[in-house]
Amino acid sequence: MRNIGITVSYDGTNFNGFQTQPYGRTVQDEIEKAILKLSGESIEIDASGRTDAGVHAVGQVFNFHTASTIPTERWAIALNTRLPKDIVILEAFDVPLSFHSRKSAKRKTYRYTIDTGKFPDVFGRQYRFHHPAKLDVGAMREGLGYLVGEHDFTSFTSIHSTKPHHVRTIYEAELVREGVFVHMYITGNGFLYNMVRIIMGTLLWVGQGKLAPEAMGTILAGRSRALAGPTAMPHGLTLMSVQYSSDS
């Protein structure tokens, strides 16, 4: 028995999220079906975390234990030929038997992208949230700064969060302008349910002058979901990478 780690990208548009659900097409189901076709094994894979319906991944990571003798370097191409075109395996690598893609993860980076153009860029419409408002990116950047560090993120979590503790650490958070697009990149040791989307929904209020940048600090300190802004649409969100060594 050995343990294989896989980096996978997917277009979340036509999935009901990563994780197996009673209804709807999921990334996990498609990957488990592809593994079954390839190795004949009925395996449950473990991902670094679920992503919601409509959310994308550039570099999601999962792992699974297998008795197969297929060489590790063959898994990526062999799975890709058995997967639908909206899932692309990027790399397969051997990991210790103790490795667990969720429990071993040290940091995750997400990106949320806003398209501020008058009309949406049709080619990125499924990967960017079209919000044709004039945004004060400087104010948003200042507001985002209040979230960096170790904090209780209850205000920026869905009331449906099932986690007992809401303290997480944001290591880095930045806003990058690229023409009419505004990207937020955010890296932390873990993210609560809807956390990145609620942060972006609240920052959009700051960008439009509905909230002062300092309000981000006040909302954080208030520890109540009711204080923060709306949950931004899922399709602007992409899981960029998962890091497993704390120095990366």
Please identify which residue in the block is written with the tokens 């690598």.
93
H or E element, residue 21? none
Q: If DSSP codes are grouped into helix, strand and coil, which group holds residue 245?
A: coil
Between 37 and 125, name the residue whose CB sits nearer to its own copies. Answer: 125
Between 103 and 118, name the residue whose CB sits nearer to its own copies. Answer: 118
CB of 64 to its own copies, least distance (A): 19
What residues contact 110, with CB distance under 8 A and at least 6 apart? 185, 186, 187, 191, 196, 237, 238, 239, 240
Query: How many chain residues touch its own copies (CB under 8 A)?
Result: 20
Query: What residues from 54 to 93 belong to the interface with its own copies (CB under 8 A)?
Result: 56, 76-77, 80, 85-90
Closest CA to 135 of 23, 53, 213: 213
What residues contact 23, with CB distance under 8 A and at least 6 apart? 16
Interface with its own copies, residue 128, by CB under 8 A: no
Q: Residue 181 corresponds to which amino acid?
A: F
Query: What residues from 171 to 190 belong to the interface with its own copies (CB under 8 A)?
Result: none
Query: What residues from 2 to 21 belong to the interface with its own copies (CB under 8 A)?
Result: 9-11
What residues contact 6, with CB distance under 8 A and at least 6 apart? 61, 62, 63, 64, 75, 76, 79, 89, 91, 92, 93
CB of 123 to its own copies, least distance (A): 6
Residues with a known catalytic role: 52
Between 44 and 73, name the residue whose CB sits nearer to its own copies. Answer: 73
| Candidate list 42, 119, 164, 165; residue touching its own copies; CB under 8 A | 119
Footprint of its own copies on this chain (CB under 8 A)?
Answer: 9-11, 56, 76-77, 80, 85-90, 119-123, 125, 127
